[in-house]
Chain A
Amino acid sequence: MKYFIDIARFVDESGKSKSLEKEFIRTSFGNALAELGDQENFVVLGADLDSSTKTIKFRQKFGEYGKEPFGQKGRWVSCGVSEAFMCAAAGGFAAREIKPVITTFARFLERGYEPLLQSVVIPGLDAFVLGSHGGIATGQDGASAQAIEDVAFFRAMHNVTVIAPGDPVETVQATKAAFRQSGLVYMRLSRNQFPNLFGPDYAFKIGEGVELIPGEEITLVTTGETTLQAIMAIAKLQKRGLKPRLIHMPTIQPPDQMILADAAKNSELFITIEDHSPRGGLGDAVLEALSMANAPRRVVKLGVDLYAESGTPADLYKKYGLDADGIAAKTLAAVETQAARHP
């Protein structure tokens, strides 16, 4: 779909990012979950991170299983710091027709990968998995908490939907959509605060990419946190006379093949930008989709191909080239080599 945004809303004339109202998308998720609890039959499984994953609101509203005043009607279930168990126990709830919502840091879900596969995915049951703190944007906790392979893990499983929303509005809509989706839905959230990219007229759909900025010759494809960075990078690139298109891809699996094939009609170069390993994530999803659409193009994958360190998210993005300057510089470099190849 097309949902054109005004770059001037995010960047001033000198190219500096504007100060905008922001919200933690974890909070957007937590609010949506607490609201959905009135309409849907689900439990929330927690592993000692309810304030970090913002499931605390649901916990307070619907009660903790086994604790007063809700007793056995409490719908937030404490699993302790036992992610492997939590992921397997989810299959027990799903088998008995109560949808499980598994919540923890994206990094620690990796420990539950095989139990989840055995207990939910192979039997073909439904579950919603929330991985917060995706990518190096997790910041100062360092490499142990910065999940950069989680999307690859989940994308490799059959019948799994992977979503990484890019703003608070989309996070709320994606959370609701996840409950209408069968199979396993993995939603990856960044730890950080985001301004609204979308207004109330936006309508998220699983599997649909969003063209945010029209353009030609170059297409930038982003997901989650990197979309905002790419908007600011495009402001810089426009000053250099380039007109890159921006496609935000909130659903990484399955990727939107149509929107990419359309973009390929006037783009020779694609740049994918993700706060994740360049193997198995958005970049590979775009490569596969272009190939399957019989629209092979040069794809330059930007991502995190190492284990980073502690630092503020902004400092880490700067160092590892995922901020506006880094994206702009790497795009320009790719354009130069492209020109050398096709003079």
Chain B
Amino acid sequence: MKSQEKKRLANRLRQIALRLVYESQSGHLGGSYSAAEIYIEILFEQLRLDTKKPASLENDIFVVDKGHATPGFFAAQHLAGLVTEESLSTYRRVDAASPHGKSKNLQGHPKYLPQQGIWFSTGSLGVGISQAVGMAIAEKMAGRKTHIYVLLSDGGLQEGIVWEAARNAAYHKLDNLTAVLDLNWIQNDDFVFKTTELLPVRAKWVSFGWEVFGEEVAFSERKPTSLNGHDFDWLSKSFEQARAVKAKPSLLIANTAKGRGISEIENSPEWHAKAPSPEQYQKWIAALQREEQAMAL
């Protein structure tokens, strides 16, 4: 798929995610936007997936460890044909008619639902990559050629379980596992470096036995050209290289901007989890639509 078409899809994702957060008046926009290009690249370019059979064990798997970024994730799943428009409209809403505990509505954080291509349950950071490691071993045991992708957040790396999973993935030589770190430098309370130190990133993963593509750029040293996580050419090339790695898991360090796509929220810790007002929604959706129209010209 051409980059131009993927850019259009990323714009569509941003529009849908904005609508989801606006309509439910809750949800995580900033971290959905920083990962928009990653979502599109994985779902449209990397996953070997029969969207008519989302629950097939032969499909590649995408695990979103940063489970709060569902506006972007469900938007991408919708664009890929895995989540229906009707299902999208259930986001963060009670399903009063379903038996207790059996709601199939889309929750604020993803819950296991293979019928919509969701093989994991996340929302508590670090359990996603651990589940992915279990899946990667299971796939090798079963002799399937599937590949597993995991989206990690930077704040999430503060969870000790991530490093337990990282060590186990390398020890078990899981070359069917590729993680991508959405390094936007902002977490719930504040900037990551004002919460606790994360650096060095690349060196940590290399020392844990991973093949690493890309390198972190400290927030204060970033330039527009540093943001490889929004660059489809870099993402495509790096994922392809990662897939060819043997006997090791791989990590892509994607330097991104939180809230990318709407200037008012870009790089603003305030917009980790906040819903727009009606005025903001109208203004921003119009801007995204203009951008989409400009792409079509």
Q: Which residues of A contact B (CB under 8 A)?
A: 43, 65-66, 72-73, 75, 77-80, 82, 84-85, 88-93, 95-98, 100, 114-115, 118-119, 122-125, 158
Q: Which of A92, A97, A98 is B130 in contact with, Cβ under 8 Å?
A: A92
Residues of A within 8 A of B101 (CB): 158
The answer on a CB contact under 8 Å between B168 and A82 is yes
B53 sits at the interface (CB 8 A): no
Provide the bound-state CA to CA distance between A123 and B119, in Å: 9
Interface positions of B from 142 to 173, Cβ below 8 Å from A:
142-143, 160-161, 164-165, 167-168, 171-173
Residues of A within 8 A of B137 (CB): 43, 65, 77, 89, 92-93
8 extra A-B contacts, CB within 8 A, seeds A85-B165, A119-B121: A66-B173, A72-B141, A88-B134, A89-B165, A92-B134, A123-B112, A123-B120, A158-B101
Residues of A within 8 A of B164 (CB): 79-80, 82, 84-85
The answer on a CB contact under 8 Å between A85 and B168 is yes
The answer on a CB contact under 8 Å between A118 and B161 is no
**Given A80-B171, A84-B164, A85-B161, do A115 and B130 touch, yes or no (CB 8 Å)?**
yes
Chain A minimum-CB-distance residue to B131: A92
Q: How far is the CB of A40 from chain B (nearest CB, A)?
A: 14
Residues of B within 8 A of A88 (CB): 126-127, 130-131, 134, 161, 165
Residues of B within 8 A of A89 (CB): 130-131, 133-134, 137, 165, 168
B23 sits at the interface (CB 8 A): no
The answer on a CB contact under 8 Å between A100 and B134 is yes
Provide the bound-state CA to CA distance between A84 and B168, in Å: 12
B132 sits at the interface (CB 8 A): yes
Residues of B within 8 A of A79 (CB): 164, 168
Interface positions of B from 43 to 88, Cβ below 8 Å from A:
57
B199 sits at the interface (CB 8 A): no
Residues of A within 8 A of B160 (CB): 84
Q: How far is the CB of A117 from chain B (nearest CB, A)?
A: 9
Main secondary structure of the interface of B (DSSP, over half): helix
Provide the bound-state CA to CA distance between A97 and B143, in Å: 13
B244 sits at the interface (CB 8 A): no
Write the B180-203 contact mask toward A (1 if CB under 8 angstroms, else 0): 000000000000000000000000
The answer on a CB contact under 8 Å between B167 and A80 is yes
Residues of A within 8 A of B173 (CB): 66
Residues of B within 8 A of A91 (CB): 112, 120-121, 127, 130-131, 134
Q: Which of B135, B161, B171 is A92 in contact with, Cβ under 8 Å?
A: B135
Q: How far is the CB of A71 from chain B (nearest CB, A)?
A: 9
* A–B pairs, 17, beta carbons within 8 Å: A66-B172, A66-B173, A72-B141, A80-B164, A80-B168, A80-B171, A88-B126, A89-B130, A89-B133, A91-B130, A95-B134, A118-B122, A119-B120, A119-B130, A122-B111, A122-B121, A123-B112
Q: How far is the CB of B47 from chain A (nearest CB, A)?
A: 16
Provide the bound-state CA to CA distance between A303 and B165, in Å: 37
Q: How far is the CB of A118 from chain B (nearest CB, A)?
A: 5
B94 sits at the interface (CB 8 A): no
The answer on a CB contact under 8 Å between A96 and B167 is no
Q: How far is the CB of B288 from chain A (nearest CB, A)?
A: 33
Chain B minimum-CB-distance residue to A117: B124
Chain A minimum-CB-distance residue to B162: A85
The answer on a CB contact under 8 Å between A118 and B124 is yes
**Given A79-B168, A80-B164, A123-B112, do A97 and B131 touch, yes or no (CB 8 Å)?**
no
